């Protein structure tokens, strides 16, 4: 993100626990909001801003228990938008995963199918800017339905002619994804909290949602690794080839 020019403003509210009502300046430097008052710079990382509210002509920042009101310049509205866009950035959700694409995760067709839903949701979310579209990209009911359908397919492919074995493997696979299912439920609840929040707390609720999304990816990683022994013990049967002899 590009730095914004310094904007001369009137600063009212509280900074570092001290009341303030003075002329100053504000700018956004990468992911840091820098407020200058009385030759001092008060720097706050965007990830600590809980909410941004623009009500002409005042831009209000909610930072923990502190409220800072900035006024006196037309560029404050666009500054509020820049802060919000920075705060709504998606974190790197696959950074802590060990099974995705690694030798330990045994990459292959089944591996790719298992992670496909989450990776597609992440790609879709990255294509949007506003929070609602990113939340909608991670439709937890759809993701859970896709997961249960896949587990049934994996079991059916391994035991196409034995219903008892097929049901037993599917049940075992479902046991291995219990934590993933719980993480998806928590992600859905976090999304509803974002939707129900006021602008003063929207960014804080968004961070809660991103943390829940991170836990979903981590749970998927653990679930896949836990499933591998069962899938390996029951490989997909190889279709027999027929060889015909000439009479």
Domain limits of the chain? 7-87, 109-233
Peptide bond into 119 cis (omega under 30): no
Which of the following CATH numbers is that of domain 7-87: 2.30.29.30, 1.10.3860.10, 2.60.120.10, 3.30.70.1230? 2.30.29.30
What pLDDT sits at residue 247? 42
The 3-state DSSP composition of the chain as helix, strand, coil percent (nearest 5) reads 50, 20, 30
DSSP classification of residue 89? P
Q: In what order do the strands lie in the sheet with 7-15?
A: 40-45, 32-37, 18-29, 7-15, 66-71, 58-63, 51-55
What pLDDT sits at residue 98? 73
User: From residue 90, how far is each of 23, 187, 221, 223, 238 by CA, in Å?
Assistant: 34, 14, 19, 23, 42
Instruction: Evaluate whether 194 touches 187 at the Cβ level (below 8 Å).
Output: no
Q: Is this structure's pTM higher than 0.75?
A: yes
Q: What is the pLDDT along the chain (247 residues), one digit of tens a residue?
A: 557 889 999 999 999 889 999 999 999 998 899 999 988 999 999 999 999 999 999 999 999 999 999 999 999 999 999 999 999 999 888 877 776 765 665 668 899 999 999 999 999 999 998 999 999 999 999 999 999 999 999 999 999 999 999 999 999 999 999 999 999 999 999 999 999 999 999 999 999 999 999 999 999 999 999 999 999 988 788 655 554 555 4
């Amino acid at each position: 993100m590009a730095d914004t020019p310094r904007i001369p403003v009137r600063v009212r509210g509280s900074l570092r626990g001290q009341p303030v009502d003075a002329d100053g300046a504000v700018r956004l430097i990468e992911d840091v909001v820098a407020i200058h008052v009385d030759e001092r710079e008060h720097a706050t990382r965007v990830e600590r801003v809980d909410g941004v509210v623009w009500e002409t002509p005042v831009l209000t920042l909610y930072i923990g228990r502190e409220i800072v009101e900035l006024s006196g310049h037309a560029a404050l509205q666009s500054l509020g938008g820049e802060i919000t866009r920075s705060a709504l950035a998606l974190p790197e959700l696959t950074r802590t995963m060990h099974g995705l694409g690694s030798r330990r995760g045994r990459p292959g067709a089944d591996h790719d199918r298992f992670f496909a839903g989450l990776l597609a949701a992440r790609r879709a979310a990255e294509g949007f800017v506003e929070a609602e579209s990113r939340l909608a990209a991670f439709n937890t009911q759809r993701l859970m339905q896709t997961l249960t359908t896949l587990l049934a397919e994996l079991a059916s492919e391994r035991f196409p002619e034995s219903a008892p074995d097929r049901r037993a493997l599917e049940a075992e696979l479902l046991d291995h994804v219990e934590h993933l299912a719980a993480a998806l439920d928590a992600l859905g609840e976090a999304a509803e909290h974002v939707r129900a929040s006021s602008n003063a707390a929207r960014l804080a609720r968004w961070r809660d949602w991103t943390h829940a999304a991170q836990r979903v990816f981590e749970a998927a990683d653990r679930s896949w690794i836990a499933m591998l022994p069962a899938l390996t013990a029951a490989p997909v049967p190889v279709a027999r080839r027929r060889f015909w002899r000439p009479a």
